[in-house]
Amino acid sequence: MKKIALITGITGQDGFYLANFLINKNYIVHGVKRRSSTVNNYRIDGLYKKYYEEATKKCFFLHYGDVTDSLNISALVSKIKPDEIYNLAAQSHVKVSFETPEYTANADALGVLRILEAIKGFKKKKIKFYQASTSEMFGGSAAPQSESTPFMPKSPYGAAKLYGHWITKIYRESYNIFACSGILFNHESPLRGETFVTKKVIKSAVKYFKEKKEILKIGNLEATRDWGHAKDYVENMWLMLQKKNPDDYVIATNKSLSVRKFIETVYKFLGISIKWKGKGIHEIGIDKKNNKTIIKVSSDYFRPNEVQNLRGDPRKAIKKLGWKPKVSIKQLIKEMIEYELKS
């Protein structure tokens, strides 16, 4: 009998990769998407067409819903009766969380609680639960960060996610729910949203490569991040729920790159060498070939409270889940650039 999975946040990057992964594992997948005035289905349109509209045996279904609505979540759990729930829904932009702290808390913190309450109240079967935690919970803690590193969030996003992380652990221990948290470090792909720094840099670089007139506006160049591929990371979400006992895992590559070095690598791939000039918010990046300014540091893109260094230690996941990252940062950059060049 096929397993049934319910994925919140289905329209995002991770939602697409996880849905595709689970369908290939012979699951029936149900995705939850928010109703909004703009359509945001472009990542999953192909999956829906292939596995619902054109399929003789349908295995991909979409439902309107929102983790800020407890009645809706409980109704979906009762209707779908999933074996596994993957909570990928969130307000996931760190800088935006400073502007919308209440909504971020409602979705990223209380949204987790609402799902756990729905699972606790559902008596017809034992449902396994995956919570998407984040490296932003570590905030100011020294790198590399592991499962035993103290949490020190520095944003409303990090704080809201930390509540979601802890409430998952509390419900696991208090109510015997099979609940796991994956503490995922930055993970990218060609399907990354355009407001995220990796996608923003690559889109700007490709546009300059094609038109020779684009200027990238950027914030903190010295922040370092541990970047992996989303396709690698969703496999871990599934692996966690297949173990005999639930637990929490750091998912990362244990390698980091500064935003400055990331930018240089992207432009170099396109045959563009950068010369840096100035300091702080007055720093610019110049194309060495023609002396054009192509990058400007802007105070608009700094967070009120910066997280400088994030690099994860994934040894527990490697040992207990039998996983290791397959895609290097250079391969990831190459894939994202090639996708953008075709767009």
Catalytic residue at 134?
A: yes
Catalytic residue among 8, 104, 134, 224, which?
Answer: 134
Catalytic residue at 194?
A: no
Neighbours of 148 (CB within 10 A): 8
Catalytic residue among 86, 130, 157, 208, which?
Answer: 157
Catalytic residue at 136?
A: yes
- Tell the burial category of 322 from Cβ atoms under 10 Å away from its Cβ (0-12, 13-18, 19+): exposed
- The label of the residue with tokens 């209440």 reads 102
Helices and strands (DSSP H and E) totals, the chain: 12, 15
Neighbours of 19 (CB within 10 A): 27
Catalytic residue among 136, 188, 264, 340, which?
Answer: 136
CA nearest neighbour of 206 among 277, 259, 296, 271: 271
Rounded Cα distance between 74 and 261, Å, is: 46
Report the run of H or E that residue 224 belongs to, with start and end.
Answer: strand 224-225
Residues with a catalytic annotation lie at 134, 136, 157
